[in-house]
Chain A
Amino acid sequence: MSKVAPELQYSAEHEWISTDGSSPSTIGVSAVAADALGDIVYVDLPEVGATVTAGEPCGEIESTKSVSDLYAPVTGEVTEVNTAAVDDPAVINSDPYGAGWLFKVAVESEGPLLTAAEYAAANGGGL
């Protein structure tokens, strides 16, 4: 059963974003997405210094079976990427909300975001 981390916010495209007020914000993909993809074998992340735009694809996540676009839930400049996830994408499956984080953005503006409860409800259940 996939789980939703209650302290985060989510996009409809299954990305999560940290909400502890620190800048830059951390972004990853939810356990819902990671489970649906299956075993992730490759992740293509935006470059440090690049600008990502809310709602637009900024990379790709590839599993044994399929490839999915990675969407930016916010607009801003990428300040850091998780090279550990690039080197060993399996961490995205095993710890999508922790060690499987993907990149950090200095947020200029947000796209539409869901609370954890709203995201969970939209994805088959409660928290």
Chain B
Amino acid sequence: MTENHTALYGEHQKAGASFTDFGGWQMPLKYSSELAEHHAVRNAAGLFDLSHMGEVWVSGPDAAAFLDYALAGKLSAVAVGKAKYSLICNADGGIIDDLISYRRSDDKYLVVPNAGNAATVAALLAERAAGFDVRVQDVSVETSLIAVQGPNAEAILLTLVPAGQHPLVKELKYYAAVEVGITVRGTVHELLLARTGYTGEDGFEIYLPNADAPALWQALLASGTDQGLIPAGLAARDSLRLEAGMPLYGNELSVDGHPYAAGLGPVVSLAKESDFVGRAALAAIRESGDGTTTGRKLVGLKGVGRRAARGHYPVLKDGAVIGEVTSGQPSPTLGYPVALAYVDVAHAEPGTLLDVDLRGKAEPFEVVALPFYRRQK
């Protein structure tokens, strides 16, 4: 498989990052210590290169109606300037990807699929566009994405924004986006700034052309270091999102699973009048109760002991297998093991004591409500 590098690969090398393959990209796993990077995001700020993710522009008179058809949510209801988390499903209701869409104008949306699914989603959107007056433009390869996440993220970002535009940043709400001038090498560039993230902290994601990415990365570090900003890799990104109870495509979400079992029923808009791909199957699944009143559903598990549950470990009740872990590790912020798992609905109530087979040894875990961690506002 061809190994892709983002425009920031040189920066990561300079910083001494250890790399890992993710979705066909060589990405920084960690720079110093994944624990230090995790704590920095919770206490100060972390700087993430997310340029491996996809960016697809959907524009034209039918853009809103098209996305209502192509995705599971009601994208036409999103106000201009806002964003929405949604799913793209197949005809069986299986999840092809989870993604965020930003409505930039009445007839223009930016859709952001996961790195490993970017090409698939872009192609699928183009295919589903038949019959709609819409243009689907995959700009993933030329677009970089830098995230600043943590309580100091706003203060750090403001050092690069002209004073007259500070209110735009300060007043930007969660799940909203705005074009803002950000100073890079003495020049102000209008960049798309979104108040979204995958860490459970306040933070921003900045979309920009590849050519500008290294300079912005350096500028953020130059002014952010005083406020505790450090680069953070995928290891920290994973432990942060797990604590925040957020699903990871490939772990909690897959084409073999459907939204209801993953707790994402609210993301599916059966109430919207338009037909959409997967509608009939999803309606039938919801009717059947699979993933809610029958079958297995996604729950949070908290370790009673010190050993962490890991992906694919069996979940047991009185020695019988009643589920499987999808993600798990020790929680750096909370100090105990946390995991996500699909378990039989009969044993899914918070407070239920279960066991996880930890490499041959049954260790106790308690079902808890998600998220494990919620930031103080």
The residues of A with any CB-CB pair to B shorter than 8 Å are: 38-39, 41-42, 60, 62, 64-67, 93
Contacts and interface: CB of A to CB of B under 8 A. Distances in A.
Contacts of A64: 34-35, 235, 239, 329-330, 332
B34 A65 contact: yes
B35 A62 contact: no
B312 interface: no
B30 interface: yes
A67 B358 CA distance: 11
Interface stretch (B123-131, B277-285, B294-302, B303-311): B303-311
A38 B34 contact: yes
B216 to A, nearest CB: 28
Contact of A67 (B33, B235, B310): B310
Interface of B: 30, 33-35, 235, 239, 306-308, 310, 329-330, 332, 359
Contacts, number: 31
B99 to A, nearest CB: 26
Nearest to A1: B16
A62 to B, nearest CB: 7
Given A38-B33, A41-B308, A64-B330, 5 more contacts: A39-B34, A42-B308, A60-B359, A62-B307, A64-B329
Contacts of A67: 310, 359
A65 B329 contact: yes
Contact of B30 (A38, A42, A62): A38
Contact of A39 (B35, B306, B307, B359): B35
Describe A's contact surface by its main secondary structure: mixed
A64 B330 CA distance: 6
5 contacts: A39-B33, A42-B306, A64-B330, A67-B310, A93-B33
Contact of B235 (A41, A62, A65): A65
A117 to B, nearest CB: 25
A65 B233 CA distance: 13
Nearest to A35: B18
Contacts of B308: 41-42, 62
Contacts of B332: 64
Nearest to B36: A39
A39 B32 CA distance: 10
A39 B235 CA distance: 11
Contacts of B35: 39, 64
Contacts of A62: 307-308, 330
Contacts of B33: 38-39, 93
Contacts of A93: 33
A62 B30 CA distance: 17
A66 B306 CA distance: 14
Contact of B307 (A38, A42, A65): A42
